[in-house]
């Protein structure tokens, strides 16, 4: 995934995550899962995680330790509808920010695999 960081850089990943969170804030399905008093924190955590995962600075690990994504998302009911909505909002954010190939294909695969891994209920 270092190709993504090489191509987008920190600024490009930051723009992508900001575009995603603009959508999440108004989404009727997954928006309510996010803490209303910590939108900035949620955005910063995803941004820093993705920057780290793509080979950039390690702020996420330094501040939060191992990602433990499934454990951190366990309190939320995540089924196919939530997974699919998350992926749709991220795809729209990639469209908005014009994420180029090959980064778009790499990120789409990573997001699909990770979002499916977060599911913790059937349907």
Mean pLDDT throughout 19-34?
Answer: 95
User: Which residue is it, tokens 């990639």?
Assistant: 94
Percent above pLDDT 70 for the chain: 87
Mean pLDDT throughout 16-43?
Answer: 94
The CATH number assigned to the domain with range 2-118 reads 1.10.490.10
Token readout for 51 is 């920057």
For residue 4, pLDDT beyond 80: yes
Domain borders along the chain are 2-118
Average of per-residue pLDDT values in the chain? 89
The contacts of residue 31 (CB under 8 Å, 6+ apart) are 24, 25
Mean pLDDT throughout 3-31?
Answer: 97
The predicted pLDDT at position 58 comes to 87
pLDDT tens-place string over residues 49-100: 999 999 999 887 767 665 555 455 556 778 999 999 999 999 999 999 999 9
- Looking at the whole model, is its pTM more than 0.85? yes
Percent above pLDDT 90 for the chain: 67
Token readout for 120 is 């913790």
Mean pLDDT throughout 21-36?
Answer: 94
């Amino acid at each position: 995934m270092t190709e993504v960081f090489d191509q987008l850089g920190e600024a490009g990943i930051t723009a992508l995550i900001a575009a995603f969170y603009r959508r999440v804030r108004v989404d009727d399905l997954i928006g309510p899962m996010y803490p209303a008093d910590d939108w900035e924190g949620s955005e910063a955590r995803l941004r820093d995680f993705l920057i780290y995962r793509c080979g950039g600075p390690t702020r996420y690990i330094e501040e939060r330790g191992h990602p433990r994504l499934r454990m951190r998302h366990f309190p939320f009911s995540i089924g196919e509808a939530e997974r699919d909505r998350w992926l749709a909002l991220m795809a729209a954010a990639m469209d908005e920010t014009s994420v180029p190939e090959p980064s778009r294909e790499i990120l789409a695969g990573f997001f699909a695999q990770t979002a499916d891994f977060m599911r913790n209920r059937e349907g």
